[in-house]
Amino acid sequence: MKTFEIKEEFILNGKPIKLISGAIHYFRMMPSQWEDSLYNLKALGANTVETYIPWNIHEPVEGRFDFKSEKNIFKFIEKAEELGLLVILRPSAYICAEWEFGGMPAWLLNIPNIRLRSTDSRFIEKVENYFSHLLPKLAPYQVTAGGPVIMMQIENEYGSYGMEKEYLRQTKMIMQNCGVSVPLFTADGTWNEVLDSGSMIEDDVFVTGNFGSKSKKNTAVLKAFMERHNKKWPLMCMEFWDGWFNRWGEEIIRRDAEDLAHDVKEMLELGSLNLYMFHGGTNFGFNNGCSARGVTDLPQVTSYDYDALLTEDGQPTEKYFAVQRVIKEVCPDVWQAEPRRKTLKALGEFPVANAVGLFNTLDTIAKPIKSTYPLRMEEAGSGYGYMLYKMTLKNYHRENRLRVVEASDRIHVYLNEEKIKIQKQHEIGEDIILEEMAGDNDLEVTILLENQGRVNYGHKLNAPTQSKGIRGGVMYDIHFHQVYEQFTLELDADQLALIDYTQESNHSAPSFYKFTPEITEVADTFIDCSKYGKGVIFVNGFNLGRYWERGPHLSLYCPKDLLKPGKNEIVVFETEGVLIESLQFVEKPVYK
């Protein structure tokens, strides 16, 4: 029987062990990539892999659970064990991770005034329902049952959000009632305010810190905190940040390889660490998170390259070899090897096969939902993607104004299918002028709204803005308009299959562009989006993610798993009125 204990050192099977870990998120890559990524972690000199488990991908609809394909956490753990790696799991209801809504499902927002990450009985009930389905399936993989899982997290950086210890205790109890028997831990920043608020040291729950430099200073704070509570636990950085994430319109953040190696060596001399990220991967679909800064939300990009030790597509970087060297210097007995590499290919350029304007195929892909006042996205559908609102206004034959009240996140406004305004989050609520229209016909106003991603960290988790769509209403002149039709555009494979390309194209409106490339030999590749505006790309029905001309990333990574020899179908949904004439596969990412 395997054993793992936390005493003054980590003890595995009766012997001290220094945990050298790296973060790999199974849900941010295709299953065929897991083995190479895990092997490269092992070859680095690591003995452990860490991963979050996001609630929202496993219970996308309340009561409906999904553990298939890239969501199969169990197969990921088994692959790690095959390669001789220990596993740290972070299955908390909230994970942050620069992931949509910090991993919490959007359907929670249909519960009026729910207080997330708290003892609100409605939230606790939903957490317990989820854990009662997930955790018993994870239990056989624990070290206490002979498996590789040595620790699990209760909550993530809770001290940066709240201080309700009873919430943490209830979560711990639920986890243990669901079969968790390995040591539990919390992870917080390394200053006393968040350690006091977010840890459970009074309940003998192991405390770890998150930081990416100044290891001596940060571990000194962590050690002093433990000593004040009469604990002599080993020091561990649960997130040793080796890079950083990126937001649309900002420069890519890079970290010098030797600077990182120096700080990693310092941390290894003091204790254990988990490199965050070892392999970042991709925010496929509508899963990118969003930063909250003041009144402005700043959505993050599709790529989660993170400037990590492996690139988004899994190639070892200069950082990889620099860190591998210092691991050997501190731990000369570790096993290391040359990492695996892959070949990416430029698969060619292909002309557009068909195109159709959204307004011309709207009735074939979505059924109208009628209501007196506009519905939020979570009320009308899954809460992800886009929502289109239609309303008919009386023509008063003079200039008038329109105002969208309390909506998130970005809107295109059309008058009789002609675009008159785009408003970003901070502009929504400003007057939109409707010019005088001749004739006796009513005015048809259409609003295409995009959910750009819910915040994943900070004070806005419970803010009304995390409920997407139009929350307040639409004012015409100075009154709230009544009677709406809304169309949910989640753009899943079933909805894409209903697009009617025999209808008229109109590139000045939001449009679908279909490509049917014949590919002889599939390979990992990138799709060049540098000539596009803003939108989403689908490869054989799979949502590859968002692109935007703002950059800094102007391409989308396309794993070979999504392509097939022979004919493929790729759909580009472009919202900015940019005419798209070709699709090009390139062998490396494109940046602004």
Q: Catalytic pick from 100, 128, 239, 490?
A: 239
Residue 114's nearest CA partner among 291, 299, 378, 387 is 378
CA pair distance 204, 197, nearest whole angstrom: 15
Give CA 419 to chain center in angstroms. 31
CA pair distance 144, 73, nearest whole angstrom: 19
Please indicate whether residue 239 is annotated as part of the active site: yes
- Using DSSP's 3-state secondary structure scheme, residue 231 falls into coil
Quick count: other Cβ atoms within 10 Å of Cβ 406?
14
Contact 575, 412 (CB under 8 A): yes
Q: Catalytic pick from 59, 155, 157, 574?
A: 157
Strand order in the sheet with 348-351: 348-351, 582-586, 525-528, 555-558
**CA count, 13 A, side-chain hemisphere, 497:** 6
Contact 575, 508 (CB under 8 A): no
Residue 80's nearest CA partner among 40, 107, 115, 116 is 40
Instruction: Give, as one character, the DSSP assignment of residue 14.
Output: T
Close Cβ partners of 309 (under 8 Å, ≥ 6 residues apart):
22, 44, 242, 275, 277, 278, 279, 316, 317, 319, 320, 323
CA pair distance 509, 431, nearest whole angstrom: 22
Please indicate whether residue 157 is annotated as part of the active site: yes
Close Cβ partners of 125 (under 8 Å, ≥ 6 residues apart):
none
Interior/surface letters 222-242, b for 16+ CB within 10 angstroms, e for the rest:
bbebbeeeeeebbbbbbbbbb
User: So which residues are the catalytic ones?
Assistant: 157, 239
